[in-house]
Amino acid sequence: MVQAKIWGNGSVEEQYKIAFDEFDAWAKANKIPHSQPNFKISPNQGYPVLQCKAYNGRVVVAWAASKAVESVQTGEQELLAAALCIGLK
């Protein structure tokens, strides 16, 4: 989603900060507690790092799936979003 510039045209780090703030607001709005630390990038390879407890991972995946559905722009993206949501049931 970062490559698709869902969170603006800023750097990857800026987009991850915006994404985390959005995730945190989503969790609060849906009254879903979590202790997920900020999203970050691997310093060596530039890939996202998701360090979390199993419960927090489930919360992040639920948010990512809802964000994917919200951000659908093409038929291919719709299929991907549907696949993400199916895995959550």
Per-residue pLDDT of the chain (89 residues; tens, 9 = 90+): 777 777 888 888 888 899 999 999 999 999 999 999 999 888 887 778 888 899 999 999 999 888 877 776 666 666 666 666 655 44
Domain count, the chain: 1
Q: Indicate the pTM of the whole model.
A: 0.75
In a domain, 28, yes or no: yes
User: CA torsion angle for 57, 1, 42, 51 (degrees, to 10)?
Assistant: 0
Helix and strand element counts for the chain (H, E): 3, 2
Structural domain contains residue 41: yes
Tokens 């999203």 locate to 39
Range of the domain at 35: 12-88
Is residue 5 a part of any domain in this protein?
no
Query: CA-CA distance, 25 to 22, in Å (whole number)?
Result: 5
Is 6 within a domain?
A: no
